[in-house]
Structure 1
């Protein structure tokens, strides 16, 4: 039998994927049920899958045009191969996202659904209510960069981690490790390394 899932880890995923979909506050947020959270997460992942597959399709079309060029040269063939490789990587990313969608129901069944819902809503509510303070903290840890320039998923991973550090009494090390796991699952290698670096600078600043 698969191991019991950690409710808070699933909560963080639902909060991450639901932040852009769930805008309600206060009592309205408290009335949000687990099905709404899952639906918001699935909608976010579906949009990402669609966008990724469209990008992959575009790369294949560009490669096809290069190969069918009347004056095919070695450089065209090489660039076409690069485009096809990028298309395959994008397609794999879409497949990974699809696997996450399929994985959700089982993972929820293997966790305390009450705890999952409660902590996911607490995270979403905290990020919305304390957005200014959270973003100021992140901004002070960014070196020659702006939060708005980061990929949306990386922005939200940072917001969730900092909200846990500042307002939810989560040990800094735990918040960082969980953020890295989210980044590995939903971002890329460059993204999770960047998230790690920013959060470690946040903890250094909070320790002063």
Structure 2
């Protein structure tokens, strides 16, 4: 797993804890935010494994009932089918949870935390202008109307490509991957479309012009 990809995901998990209004954040404040995100991940692992265990227990009950309590073949098949579905859900949850310990270990690397904190710092410092750029790139929609996770994925990607100098295609691809992991079924496609329009605007509009533009019309979500 690449350091910057891990840092980007850590930033996404942390950005929702930033103050709603732009302000200068101290290094210790950012470190506390990142630490809180790591703790959230640890709790998520525990919750996921507990849920998987409960589903496996329910699946076992359904299999037992299919042998002892089914009144006919159809009801037995229904019970077995439900048991298989519960088992599959449990397996999927366990598979997902197995990735998190590695993730938690990697986020403790110095370069990972450093880039995550750089993203958080720049997202916070440039939020009004970034939000304005995203709003200007959306068609018949507003940033504030999106799910919070989609807002944050867009903010991180635009900050990376505009402020941190990441190649637009790389920023877009990474945002789409975050969308597949954290957003809804169609979220990553929407994110891809918005970011491509952002990239087009940036390529046709000097950064100096954007930086000096008014942000009074921004529809930033609190």
TM over 0.5: same fold? yes
Structure 1 Cα separation of the partners of residues 31 and 176 of structure 2: 30
- Summarize the Cα distance change of 1:114–1:153 in structure 2 as closer, same or farther, 3 Å threshold: same
Q: Is the 8 A contact 2:130 2:155 kept in 1?
A: yes
**TM-score of the superposed pair, with normalisation by structure 2:** 0.62
Q: Is the 8 A contact 2:41 2:104 kept in 1?
A: no
Gap regions ≥5 residues in structure 2: 49-84, 205-222
CA deviation after TM superposition for structure 1 residue 206, in Å: 0.8
Q: Is the 8 A contact 2:7 2:107 kept in 1?
A: no
Q: Which residue of 1 aligns with 2:138?
A: 142
**TM-score of the superposed pair, with normalisation by structure 1:** 0.66
Gap regions ≥5 residues in structure 1: 50-87
2:126 is matched with which residue: 130, 136, 140?
130
SS at match of 2:186: helix
Verify: 1:109 aligned to 2:81, yes or no: no
Which structure has the larger Rg?
A: 2
Q: Which residue of 1 aligns with 2:57?
A: none
Structure 2 Cα separation of the partners of residues 176 and 158 of structure 1: 9
- Summarize the Cα distance change of 1:143–1:98 in structure 2 as closer, same or farther, 3 Å threshold: farther
Structure 2 Cα separation of the partners of residues 34 and 145 of structure 1: 31
- Summarize the Cα distance change of 1:205–1:133 in structure 2 as closer, same or farther, 3 Å threshold: same
Q: Is the 8 A contact 1:22 1:40 kept in 2?
A: no
Q: Alpha-carbon deviations, 1:167-202, whole Å to 9, x = none?
A: 111010110000000001111231111000000000
> How many aligned positions are there?
163
Coordinate RMSD, CA, aligned: 3.3
Q: Which residue of 2 aligns with 1:186?
A: 182
Structure 2 Cα separation of the partners of residues 97 and 152 of structure 1: 23
SS at match of 1:189: coil
Q: Which residue of 2 aligns with 1:168?
A: 164
Equivalent positions of 1:1-208 (< 5 A) are 5-23=1-19, 25-29=25-29, 31-32=31-32, 35-40=35-40, 100=96, 103-109=99-105, 113-208=109-204
